[in-house]
Structures are given as C-alpha cells and as structure tokens.
Structure 1
Amino acid sequence: MTGAPGPAPASLPPRRASGPSGRAAAAFGSLRIRNYRLFAAGQAVSHTGTWMQRIAQDWLVVELTGSSAAVGVTIGLQYAPMLLLGLHGGLIADRMPMRRLLLWTQTALGATGLGLAALVLSGQARPWHVYLMAAALGLVSVADAPARQAFVAELVGPEQLRNAVSLDAAVFQTARLIGPAVAGVVITAVGSGWAFLLNGLSYLAPPAALLLMRTGEIHPAARAPRGGGQVRATLRQVARDPGLLWPIVLVAFVGTFGFNFPVWLTAFTVQVFHTGSGVYGLLNSLLAAGAVAGALWAARSLAPPRRVLTMAALLFGALETAAALAPALWLFAALLVLVGTTGLVVTVTANAHVQLTADAATRGRVMSLFKIAFMGGTPVTAPAVGWVTAAWGPRTGFLTGGLASLAAAAGVGLVLSRTKA
C-alpha cells in the first residue's frame, strides 16, 4: 500500500543522470529546494554537536566508573523511552504541525547538553547525573525522531524523498565523522565539559533554520484526528504490508545486534589496543567515513532492489566478524570503514522505502516503529553486550554482534526472497 505524501513542493523535475556531472547532480538533487537546504544545514550543525556529546558522554562514564558495562547502561537508558513510548511519539508527530513540534524538541535537546556542561564544568558530575540526562534526552527524542524524519517528506515531496533521506544520512554521518574527531581534541585539551557545552550551543542552529523557512512552501500531510486505536491500526497496517514489514524486520535485527559500537569501541580502545580518547574518536570517525560513502551511494541509486538490503546486511555481519578478530589496529580501523558503508546502505535504503510505502497520515507512527526496530532493542542488548564485553573481553562481544547480524540477515533474506514485491 503506497500512501500519497501530499502535494509536492515546487522543485525542478528529476532528470536522468548521465556522466559524472549528471550523477553528481542527481546525488544532491533535493538541495535545490530552499527549505530543505535550511533544514539540512541546521541538522549538520546540531548533529556535529550531538556526536561530540556522545563521545564525551561515553568517555565521561568510563572516567567516572571505569566500567564498559556502565557505558551500556547509559546507552540503554537513552534508548529505553523509544522502546516504551516510541509509537505514541509518532502519534504526536502525526497530530501536531511538525515544524512547531521540532522547534520545541530541538530546543529541549540543546538544554540537555547545557545541563551536562554545567555539571561537569562545576566538578559536580556523578554517574547518576549522566544516567538522568541520557534518559531525558531519550524522552525528548521519542517525539523528535519520527517528526524529524517525516518532516523531510513535507519539505521535498515524493519525487525527491529517497534522495533527501539519503542526504540526511550523509549529513548525519559527516557529523559523525567530524564530531568525534573534534571531541577527542576538546576532551584531551580542556575536558569533556566543554564538549557538552559546544553541543548545547550547536542546537541554536535547527530552530533558526526552522524559523527562516518559507512556510508557504511546506506541504504538510493531513494531521491525524484524535481517536482511539490509532497505534494498533498502524501496527495492523505494517503487519499486512510486506513492503513495510520485512524492511523493518531486517533493520530490527541489524540494529539490535550489530550497532553497539559505543560499547565495543571504548573497550577495544582501552583493553585491546591500549590507547586513549584520541584513538577512540578516530575509530568513530573512520566508521562514519564509511557510512558517508554508503549514504552517498544510496543517494545516487534510483531503485535498489530488495537483494541490496539482504546483501548489504550479510556483508555487514561478515565484516563485523572479521573486525572482531583483527589482530592489528590498522586492520581493525580499515574494516570499520567497510562496516560503516554496508550498515548505512541497509538503513538508508530501508528508511526511504518505508517512507515511500507508508500512508502520509500515518508516516510519523510508521517512522517511529522503524526507529523502535532499529534502536528499540538497545536498552536490552546494550547492557547485555556491555556485560559480555566486560566478562569475556571486547573481541567476544564484537564477535557475538557480528555473528548474530550475519545469521539474522541470512534468515530474513531467505524470507524476503520468497515474498512477492
């Protein structure tokens, strides 16, 4: 079932790419839309700050507790609200004007960074403070994440949606490339408190971008009316539509088992390679560099077949398995680039397909379900992975994630191959 996303904003008609310049134009086609350019610019700034905070948060927890398991607990608290309340957050996004909702949520996310900065810079930070702020950030993200993803369709329309989703991922991963590197320098030079402060200040950009948009060029979908049973109706819609169900299932397996990088990379940095925060930031940046390449490849691709999802997921699991066994830092780092590439091909392709397949009036709920599938298992698996890593070593923890992703991709891929398009 393919929903109508509503009238498309004025934009140049898509052209078939021919030659290197034509392919480059196709890869960045949605940037021709002014409101989307503003949105992407604001997100680029805030995402960079967010990645700085993530690195600083993980490193602060290690400094305060000396425990990889504590990092897993922090991540679990951050994503628990999405698991428990995610579909209701999507319903909020479907009912409220998304631009107004994002003004509130982006401001609140910035406040969490400023709060942690105040605690760390004053010397008062304790582990429970970090846990509390992580949970608060997760609570705000319950409404922010589906609204931010679904808002893209209101800015660009269906013709440019796949391209815009891919560029969103490229922006996010470019920030992931820059943010950890900057965080490593800042933490080493002046401490983690300043990284939290910079993140808080970076959240001035998204509200500014939202306020500068031309509201007449935003084409919102019809808001969902108030009523009972709307969350259950969305679950029934997804369950009976293979075009929604199986990409979400695949992303659920890969996200739950294969994306516990904060736990693994902190442990590999300290326990396996015996280095510090600078190398930790570098490893995160290399992972992101591969992800940027994967996102840009997806932006240039017109219609990736289902087998692309399956093959990318299989490669992702296999590469994680190889990285877990890598004997040297340079080989581990090189494999992380490929892990990032294949992981992003899976998530970006599935994201765009799900958005295009979902009804416009339920897109917020469907995207919240997508987010739950990708990250909702983290509250359970992150502490468990942290415990496995602490008990049996980083290599065992990473290997478990890689093998689980590989097996899940094979199983879901077999089901997809027997499902009609």
Structure 2
Amino acid sequence: MPPPASPSSATGPSERSNVYRHKGFIAFMASRLLAVFATQVQAVVVAWQVYDLTRSPMALAYVGLAQFLPMLVLLLPAGDLIDRFARKPILAVSWALGAFCSALLWWLSGHGAAGVGGIYAVLVLFGCTRAFSGPALQSLLPQIVPREQLAQAIAANSMIMRAASIGGPFLGGVLYAMGGGELTYAVCFACLLLGTVLLVWQVPVQQAGAPSPTNGTMLERFGAGIRFIRTRPIILGTISLDLFAVLLGGVVALLPIYAHEVLHVGPQGLGALRSAMAIGEVSAGLYLSVRPFNQRVGRTMFIAVAVFGLANLVFSLSSIFAVSFTALMIAGAADMVSVYIRGALVQFSTPDHMRGRVNAVNMLFIGSSNELGEFRAGTSAAWLGAVPAAVLGGACTLVVVGLWSRIFPTLRNVGKFDEAARPEDL
C-alpha cells in the first residue's frame, strides 16, 4: 500500500500557488468562521449582561478570570494529548462542548441577577474547552496546507477569524437590545454546532510527522516542550511579547464601561466598538492574505505592537465616539500585522511533534493576555477609574516594546520566516 499523500503532493501546481484554491483549507476556514462568530457574539453579550446586572467593574474582571483559570490548569494535558492523538477529533469535541455552554447560557439568561453565579460557572467550562480548541486549531493547520502555503494560510485564517469579529459583536449588541440573551445564545449554539459538523465531515487532514514520544510521564513530556521553547529565543520572545503587551495594554474589557459611562452609546455602540478593532484587523488581514510579506519580519512586529499601544492611548483619552472608533480600528490593524508575524514565526520554528505543547504554551500566553488582561483591566478600573486604567495600560505596552527589543535582539533581527527554523527541526 502506498504511503498517504502529503499536503503538497495532494494539490496541483495551481493549488500550491494560492491557498484559496485548497478545498480542505476553505472548509476549515468556514468551520472556524462559524465557531469564532459564535464566540464573539457570546463574548459581547456575556460582558454586557453581567455589567447590566451588577454595574460592577469587578464583575467584568471575573468574566475574564473564570475563562483563564481553566486554561491554566489544563495547559499540561491539552498540549500532551494534542501531540499524541489525532487533532481534528479533539477540536471537534471542544467545539461541541462549547455549543453545550451556549445552550446553558441560553437557559440561564432568563434568571436575572440570580443567574450571574451560573454564568461564571458556565464560563469556567467554556474556558476548559478553549484550553484544547486553541492549541488544536494552531497545530492542525500545517496538516491541512503545504509548508509553502503556511504563511499565507495563517494570514488568511487570521483575516477570516477577524471578519467574524466584525459581524459578531455588532450583531450580538443588536440582538441583545432586541431580544435579550435568549436569542443571542441560541444563535451561538447553532453556529458552534454547525461548525463542528462541517469540521468533521468536510475538512480532510494529512498524517502528521513523527509522533510525540510516549515514554515517560506527562510532566516529563511537557517539560521537554518547555525546554524546547527556552532554547528558542525567537519563540520565547514572540509569545512573551504578546503576553505582556496585551496583558498590560488591552482595553477590550473596559469597552462596556466606556460605552455606558464615557461615550454614552448603549449596547449597540458597544457592539460597534468591539467591531472597530475587527474592521482594522480584517482589512490588514485581507491585504496580508493576498500580499504576504517576508522581509524584516522581526522589526516590523515590534513596530506593529508599538502602534497598537499608541492607538490604545488615543482611545483611552477620547470622549468622542468617532475618534474612539478610529483609534480602535488602527489598533486592530496593527494587532493583525503582529498576529500574522507571531503566528508564522511560531509555526516555522516548531517541528510537528512539538506543535501541541508549544501551541498550548502559546495559547496560555494568549489567554493570559486576553482573559487575565480583562481581569487586570477590571481591577485597575475599580481602583483607579476606567480612563486612568486605560491610559496606564497603553503606556505600559510601549515600555514592553522597548524592553523586549533589547532583551531579544535575535527576534528583532529576523529577516525572513525561514530563518526562524533550525535545520535539525525541519
């Protein structure tokens, strides 16, 4: 029996030249589009509903913390399982459990303030699903497209994800204003369920490379992954830059407060603000998916993160909706450039048998910068006020960029993505 075809051999010359002609990748993007759309709708509705019920910035902080803690606890088993077992079934089960969480939120939405504790409990379960779905998604992509299409696929995949982020928050705000949580959570449930079905039936994957060794304990195998990251300053610098820049400078968790108390635009305006960053992201992502660049990638990433911090500073000081919306768009575009470079550097630097563990650590850092960043923003707003907390966060992002550019000169000086890979890892 002949060996299974590799992703590159399974496609013709015209397909290798353009990732959009790769049928498996198109189906993968469609399934992820549904899942991300549901997640974004749910995020904006949960944030607004919790703040509407409690009027407490700390309540928003707990929304982020409830999703982050399970990711922290499950990091080790998630990375190990993704390297040892088929990745597509793990992702499918994670999305199916996410649909179950949406169904529970649907039921809890009719319980008023008495349901806030239940909402936190469901978010803990949802955080458990993300501990597996995040690294599984990142590890699965190289099994769908050939290596020469990987950078373009990362840009296209990020762009599609951000496209869902445009319609998701805006529609979530509109639906919540029209029909409350019941309708919006029902939409989330349907999208996650449909995305799971599409993934299972329409996304073919190729056999991964050498499997992760099964000898030793889970702790020993995961320790090998940690040592691998520590010996690769490009990977360590990339994922830690994202952690501290967004952890300290993110303003997403403060948007309900800005929409309600600073800009006075209500839930529809909150959805628009959440969509503003996505508009900038998808615009930059669309350009990168058609015209991916591969020159001075390290220096460009640092510049993009600095622009992200400056744009957040402008937003934090603005009381005019149009200025705030524009600043978030610029922040989103800069973040997309950074995401594109970070994602490609991590993928090109990591051999396939390490992808699960490396991407699990990467997702922990991303989760820390997002969910734990929401907790940081909420607590800072409770202590200092929303505007001083946002200003301080933007300034901290700029400090991180300056420090990391000096601590990781190898990362700053990377020219092309292929330079990130060591010969022994290919």
The two structures have a TM-score, normalised by structure 1, of 0.90
User: Alpha-carbon deviation of 1:155?
Assistant: 0.5
Structure 2 counterpart of 1:234, which letter? G
- Alpha-carbon deviations, 1:179-235, whole Å to 9, x = none? 1111111111111221111101111222222232364x5232333232321111111
CA spacing shift, 1:243–1:170, aligned 2, 3 Å: same
Q: Distance in 1 between matches of 2:251 and 2:73?
A: 19
Equivalent residue, structure 1, for 2:424:
none
Equivalent residue, structure 2, for 1:222:
210
Q: Distance in 2 between matches of 1:95 and 1:360?
A: 11
Equivalent residue, structure 2, for 1:247:
238
Is contact 1:36-1:155 (8 Å) kept?
yes
The yes-or-no answer on 1:362 pairing with 2:357 is: no
Q: Distance in 1 between matches of 2:383 and 2:121?
A: 26
Q: Distance in 1 between matches of 2:20 and 2:116?
A: 42
Equivalent residue, structure 1, for 2:315:
323
Equivalent residue, structure 2, for 1:294:
284
User: Alpha-carbon deviation of 1:292?
Assistant: 0.8
Is contact 1:315-1:342 (8 Å) kept?
yes
The yes-or-no answer on 1:48 pairing with 2:37 is: yes
User: Structure 1 stretches (4+) deviating beyond 6 angstroms?
Assistant: none
User: Alpha-carbon deviation of 1:113?
Assistant: 0.3
Q: Distance in 2 between matches of 1:202 and 1:179?
A: 11
User: Alpha-carbon deviation of 1:250?
Assistant: 1.3
Aligned pair partner of 2:294 in 300, 303, 310: 303
- Alpha-carbon deviations, 1:260-294, whole Å to 9, x = none? 40x21111111111221000001111111001122
Equivalent residue, structure 2, for 1:411:
403
Equivalent residue, structure 1, for 2:135:
146
Q: Distance in 2 between matches of 1:303 and 1:312?
A: 15
Q: Distance in 2 between matches of 1:298 and 1:221?
A: 28
Is contact 1:155-1:219 (8 Å) kept?
no
**Which piece of structure 1 moves more, 390-399 or 64-73?**
390-399
Q: List aligned pairs for 1:322-361, cutoff 5 A.
A: 322-361=314-353
Is contact 1:253-1:409 (8 Å) kept?
no
Q: Distance in 2 between matches of 1:170 and 1:46?
A: 14
The yes-or-no answer on 1:132 pairing with 2:131 is: no
Equivalent residue, structure 1, for 2:60:
71
Equivalent residue, structure 1, for 2:387:
395
CA spacing shift, 1:127–1:175, aligned 2, 3 Å: same
CA spacing shift, 1:379–1:181, aligned 2, 3 Å: closer
Equivalent residue, structure 2, for 1:382:
374
Structure 2 counterpart of 1:264, which letter? L
Structure 1 counterpart of 2:270, which letter? Y
User: Alpha-carbon deviation of 1:68?
Assistant: 1.9
- Alpha-carbon deviations, 1:348-380, whole Å to 9, x = none? 210111011101101011111111122225554
Q: Distance in 2 between matches of 1:385 and 1:184?
A: 21
Q: Distance in 2 between matches of 1:327 and 1:53?
A: 27
Structure 2 counterpart of 1:172, which letter? M
**Which piece of structure 1 moves more, 298-307 or 403-412?**
298-307
Aligned pair partner of 1:30 in 19, 23, 33: 19
SS at match of 1:171: helix
Is contact 2:304-2:334 (8 Å) kept?
yes
Is contact 2:65-2:375 (8 Å) kept?
yes
CA spacing shift, 1:200–1:143, aligned 2, 3 Å: same
Aligned pair partner of 1:113 in 102, 119, 122: 102
Equivalent residue, structure 1, for 2:11:
11
CA spacing shift, 1:39–1:125, aligned 2, 3 Å: farther
Equivalent residue, structure 2, for 1:280:
270
- The runs of 5 or more residues in structure 1 that have no matched partner are 1-5, 16-24
User: Alpha-carbon deviation of 1:44?
Assistant: 1.0
Is contact 2:139-2:356 (8 Å) kept?
yes
Aligned pair partner of 1:93 in 59, 69, 82: 82
User: Alpha-carbon deviation of 1:418?
Assistant: 5.8
Q: Distance in 1 between matches of 2:68 and 2:203?
A: 33
Q: Distance in 2 between matches of 1:251 and 1:138?
A: 19
Q: Distance in 1 between matches of 2:113 and 2:317?
A: 40
- The runs of 5 or more residues in structure 2 that have no matched partner are 415-426
Is contact 1:14-1:159 (8 Å) kept?
no
SS at match of 1:175: helix
CA spacing shift, 1:327–1:276, aligned 2, 3 Å: closer
- Alpha-carbon deviations, 1:237-264, whole Å to 9, x = none? 1111122121122112223122340x21
Q: Distance in 1 between matches of 2:288 and 2:86?
A: 29
SS at match of 1:396: helix
